[in-house]
Amino acid sequence: MAGPVVAERLHDILLRLFGLEAPVRLYAWDGSVAGPTEAPAVRVHSRRAVRRLLWRPDELGLARAFVAGEIEVDGPILTALERLAPFGRSIGARPELTAADRSELMRAAVYLGAVGPAPKPPEEEITGAERRHALDRDTAPSGSPDNPVGTRFLAKVFGQTLMLGAGYWAEPGMSLDDAQRAGLQLACRKLGLTDRDAGQRGARLLDVDCGWGTFLLHAAEHHAVTGLGITASAEQAEQATKRAVDAGLAGRVEFRVADWREVEADPFDAVVAYGLADYVGEDRLGEYARTLHGLLRPGGRLLVNQVGRRGEPLAQERSFLDAYVHPGAELLPIGTVTNLVEGAGLEVRDVEAMREHYARTLRAWVANLEGAWDECVRQASPGRARIWLLYLAVSALAFEAARISAYQLLVVRPHTDGRAPLPATRSAWQH
């Protein structure tokens, strides 16, 4: 096949499948090129990518081809995805293919040598027993996405703090690590951990889905806190314990592999839960909130970081996120979350929108991953690294476009007479 024929045929296939001219410059496996010179460069390395899209002409088909390395985007992925956003929103929105469309697609597939059975999904896709386990587990994945890559990989992405949540970008020119430390300190102020006088006993803190123990270790080091961190990951618990020993905090904090329903302890002064409600889901969020109510002393505070959706429920067809990242994760409107939390006897005292902070943090994580790409691939695999890159990038753009949002909820367990010993204004933590 000489000349630009293959690349031009690929453009025609995309137009037929998605009903919109793809704003890309395509580089085909035979060396042919088609598309505007100023458009993002997309390299199609094999006929297998075409076969995937013919069998699955949607977001998941494109994602499978990307994870498998059959298509590749030149340059920073966020730059390309920003340019491709209008095209991406059209996927799945076009009418059913006509008979003429199907005939032309078959003719193009025969010409390109792309006729055949549906390719198997990449080995990293979460299917079968793995998916059932994830849906039954009812606890947060260990570091997200739900594909293991190891601490060394994630340290390259998350930075020095190894913090899973968003940083707090309070000042211009902040680095990722600065923003993460600012976020940790903000959380400590909201929970009242900074209110203890010199020499006074530190608060007892429970960190649910503690990751590598960053928040609990910060609170113990700076505010004399003692406490317990729980995680679903044995590797995270082991690494967090090592960090505690290295920091001289082993006698003050403990890390365990445990589910949130398995904690048996005297009530805590404070509880922090970064995003676990996303994985618990609406059906069990009430049970989750009641459990946390029982783990708090009267007057104790709970801080929850919650990613949620805005508007109507998201599409139910299987997506990239469901197949590779968080099987069954349920994004809830903030109103649903606050209603269920208060229905458990807790009181929501403050809600802060964190959408822009999440978007900026995700952009920093994408830059870290792209900057250490070769090493991250060695630590995991090309497919797993691509999953992370695509996940972080599309999440950043979703926050920026307000398709999803994020909130930080400050909650208290009131005394039986209604007293809730919190500051009367936000000024106690806004400094």
Q: Using CB atoms within 10 A of its CB, is residue 65 exposed (0-12), middle (13-18) or buried (19+)?
A: buried
- Buried b or exposed e, range 233-264, using 16+ CB within 10 angstroms: beebbebbbebbeeeebeebbbbeebebeebe
Comparing 207 with 148, the larger pLDDT belongs to 207
Residues 40 and 328: beta-carbon distance below 8 Å = no
Condensed to tens digits (0 to 9), the pLDDT of residues 286-305 reads: 999 999 999 999 999 999 99
Rounded Cα distance, 351 and 190, in Å: 11
Q: How many CB atoms are closer than 10 A to CB 412?
A: 21
Long-range pairs, 260-267, Cβ under 8 A, ≥24: 260/139, 260/208, 260/209, 260/230, 260/288, 260/291, 260/292, 261/291, 262/230, 263/206, 263/228, 263/230, 263/295, 265/206, 265/228, 265/295, 266/204, 267/294, 267/295, 267/296, 267/297, 267/300
Structure confidence at residue 93 (pLDDT): 62
pLDDT value at 191 more than 90 = yes
Structure confidence at residue 312 (pLDDT): 65
Structure confidence at residue 406 (pLDDT): 95
The answer to whether the predicted template modeling score (pTM) of the entire model surpasses 0.75 is yes
Q: How many CB atoms are closer than 10 A to CB 116?
A: 12
Comparing 206 with 130, the larger pLDDT belongs to 206
Lateral strand order in the sheet of 226-231: 253-257, 226-231, 204-208, 268-274, 296-309, 404-412, 347-353
Range name among 10-24, 69-83, 120-134 with the lowest pLDDT average: 120-134
Where are the domain boundaries for CATH 3.40.50.150 in the chain?
Answer: 135-428
Sort strands 347-353 and 404-412 into parallel, antiparallel or unpaired.
antiparallel
Rounded Cα distance, 366 and 7, in Å: 29
CA distances from 24 to 47, 72, 141, 327, 397 (A): 18, 12, 35, 31, 19
User: Sign (positive/negative) of CA torsion 72, 176, 145, 242?
Assistant: positive
Q: Which two tokens mark 312? A: 């109507």
Residues 272 and 208: beta-carbon distance below 8 Å = yes
Structure confidence at residue 159 (pLDDT): 94
CA distances from 166 to 123, 157, 159, 163, 364 (A): 30, 13, 12, 8, 10
Average pLDDT over residues 254-277: 89
The overall average pLDDT reported for the chain is 88
Percent with pLDDT over 70 in the chain: 89
Average pLDDT over residues 109-137: 78
Helix, strand, coil percentages for the chain (3-state, nearest 5): 45, 15, 40
User: Superfamily assignment of 135-428 in CATH?
Assistant: Vaccinia Virus protein VP39 (3.40.50.150)
52 pairs with which residues across the strands? none
Condensed to tens digits (0 to 9), the pLDDT of residues 27-41 reads: 999 999 999 999 999
Q: Which two tokens mark 223? A: 């505010």
- Buried b or exposed e, range 20-58, using 16+ CB within 10 angstroms: bebebbbbbbeebebbeeeebbbbbebbbbbbbbbebbb
Rounded Cα distance, 123 and 121, in Å: 6
Structure confidence at residue 1 (pLDDT): 45
